[in-house]
Amino acid sequence: MDAGKNVAAAATAIIGQKVLPGMDRQFESWQEDLNAAAAYYPGFLGAEISPPTPLQPDWVIVYRFDSVAHLQAWINSATRQTYLDVGAKYFDGPATQQVVSSGTQSLDPLVTVVVTHRVAPNQVDDFLAWQHRLVQEESTFEGFRGTELFRPIEGLQEEWTTLYRYDTAEHLDAWLTSSRRQEVLAEGAKFSDFTLHTIDNSFGSWFAFEGNGKEAPPPPSETRTSLAVWVGLYPTVVLLTLALSPLHLPLWIGLLVGNLLSSFIMSFLTMPYYVHPMLGRWLRQQPDAPARAGLRGLGVVAVAMAFWAVVFYLVTVRLWTLP
């Protein structure tokens, strides 16, 4: 294992997705909006997208949260499901998903392999012994940099997940095609129902491993998040007020119903289909980005709010006076 300064790793989800031919650009834009939506969820630390490469045949998306519970809340959220329903037209088959939740991170841009096994409860001891034998063999090959084994996570995934890494694709391939690996796999034939995914080295610092640490991308600025919510909340609340005004509800009932409806509308319509497409890149902007990039985002906020202010002025003062 590598030595060096360590930092605790967060819960990480690794999602692989095949995309229909000719849909790569649309998929990437949709995925960026989805990642921006994830940034609003508690515990979000970062998200990143990697397109297919000769070594990595699928698009790979990595999410990092500060705990399994927070990651699970995002993975199972209605917001994410709404996005998936919209993005299904870009998918070439179902996605794969693995979750890891311990260890530390590495600075080295290593090639990572993710292997998942379904293991019967009465075979866990045999599986662990076989995994130990597998690690003993692969660690003797040139370029091996480490491995970790993760147990199933109740409510999130049923599989055992193993991560192992090599310094280059060539060294990894030497292990994957070796006769020694085939011998060990034959010894564990009853565990032959597994999936294997190779992740290119662009995600080297995102996976939980013992080694040198690197901080994940920071969450979006609280100020920017607040402004983004403001951009979505203002038109939502005003439109709801106009829609409910003919009912002449008492103030306390009107606010009760209005707040409930605005919460649902913000979660399922306003944020995913209005705010995120417009401000998603600005919310994900790194701290060292040029100042003009931040100013562009503020300009978009100002234009959007000025537009709605003019529209609602005309509607409520010139065209329709509320009772």
Answer for the pair 58, 16: CB distance below 8 angstroms, yes or no. yes
The pLDDT, as a whole number, for residue 302 is 94
Answer for the pair 79, 232: CB distance below 8 angstroms, yes or no. no
The pLDDT, as a whole number, for residue 108 is 45
Above 90 in pLDDT, residue 271?
no
Q: Which of 161, 287, 280 is nearest to 215 (CA)?
A: 287
Answer for the pair 156, 72: CB distance below 8 angstroms, yes or no. yes
**What is the mean pLDDT of the segment spanning 46-60?**
81
Give ∠ CA 276-280-281 in degrees, rounded to 5. 160
**Single-letter residue type at 128:** L
CA 187, distance to chain mean position in Å, is 36
Q: Mind giving me the DSSP string for 179-212? A: HHHHHHHHHTGGG--EEEEEE-GGGTTTS--SS-
Asked which of 214-218, 228-232, 257-261 is least confident by mean pLDDT, the reply is: 214-218
**What is the mean pLDDT of the segment spanning 23-35?**
90
Percent of the chain residues topping a pLDDT of 90: 11
Tell me how far apart the alpha carbons of residues 131 and 148 are, in angstroms, rounded to a whole number: 10
The class level of CATH for 11-203 reads alpha beta
The pLDDT, as a whole number, for residue 19 is 92
Contacts of 44 (CB under 8 A, 6+ apart): 38, 63, 64, 65, 70, 74, 219
Domain with CATH 3.30.70.100 in the chain: 11-203
Tens digit of each residue's pLDDT (9 = 90 or more) over 189-207: 888 777 776 665 545 444 5
Contacts 24+ apart (CB under 8 A), 46-54: 46/206, 46/216, 46/217, 46/218, 46/219, 47/217, 48/203, 48/206, 48/217, 50/199, 50/200, 50/202, 50/203, 51/24, 53/200
The pLDDT, as a whole number, for residue 144 is 83
